[in-house]
Amino acid sequence: MAIQETKNIQEVCFWADCQDCGKRLDVYLAQKIETMTRSAIQKSISGGQVLVNGRVASKNTRMSANDKVTMGNSGIRGGGEHGNAPEPQEIDLDVLYEDDYFVAVNKPAGLVVHPGNGNQDKTLVNALLFRMGALSSGSARERPGIVHRLDKDTSGVIIAAKTDQAHSRLAELFSARKITKIYTAFCIGLLPPSGGVIDFALARSRKNPVKRCVNASGKHAVTEYQLLRYHRGVSVIKLNILTGRTHQIRVHCSYSGFPVIGDDLYGADRDGVLKIPPMERPFAHSVLKCFSRQALHALSIGFIHPFSNQPLTIRAPFAGDFLRALELMQVDPAL
């Protein structure tokens, strides 16, 4: 992807390759711009804000190798859901890193990333606007600065963009899978091997629109995992997600037989502990009691800084619930 800037507008450009041949334009862009919904992208296309090889295209346009797709920054801003612009709010933030382009924070569990249905304020975005004063335009009015997201009850490092240029550069790195995202989780059960790769496409569940499920016709999703320690029905694992799908780790772990502890949505609540052998349940319950949310933490994010060209790794310290559970498992928090 390349960025072309003029005085009044910034354009984000993509070039299709052979593996994109035959894809519909809206599908192609949905894979490239994960912060925009498919419907938002379709609105931008219908509004004439997307060009293919310099010509206004339709969502049914089929991609060919070397096609140049251009979306104006107004399309990225205006194509999302129509929400109110968030107001700055004074909320404590644990800032891990900040420069002229980006800010990274250690998001606590329970904090929603941006305003949406049921959460119109008191989000990470509101807090960032209070502290920074301004962020990038984002993919929609209610999502300034947001390039990637964490679930409400997932803690850990999240990075936001301060400028539109920084947003585009960071989005390019995510799209090219040049950003390393490491997570730590406590899971019920023993992983089949001590490490491996989970490669299952994910889609929205037809039975419950809040949930995601494994579906061969869904979006490509890949998770690498490594077992750090297993003890009496509980595993501590480290994960590297090569794609950033909604609920990816939670669904992949559950589907593979080792759901994340405390994840009521995907089968690792207190009843889930009953699936392990009776002799191991007391210890598993003691770990479960450490958490009032899913036991998932975004430990670190690493990439080559697109402006300084220097390697950057940002690590988020564990919250108290994780520290207590790591102590029970006799795992060093400096893992």
Residue 201 has φ and ψ, to the nearest 5°, of -65, 150
Give the integer Cα–Cα distance in Å for 182 and 119. 27
Give the integer Cα–Cα distance in Å for 150 and 253. 17
Nearest to 132 by CA among 177, 164, 162: 162
Tell me the torsion sign for CA atoms 109, 113, 119, 122. positive
Query: Residue 212 in contact with residue 245, Cβ under 8 Å?
Result: yes
Active site residue 26: no
Give the integer Cα–Cα distance in Å for 330 and 286. 13
- Beta-carbon neighbour count of residue 239 at 10 Å? 23
20, 26, 151, 153: the catalytic one is 151
CA 145 to chain centre: 14
Residues written for the chain = 335
Tell me the torsion sign for CA atoms 171, 177, 179, 182. positive
> What are 326's two structure tokens?
């790591």
Which 3 state secondary structure label does DSSP give 108?
Answer: coil
Residues annotated catalytic, as ranges: 151
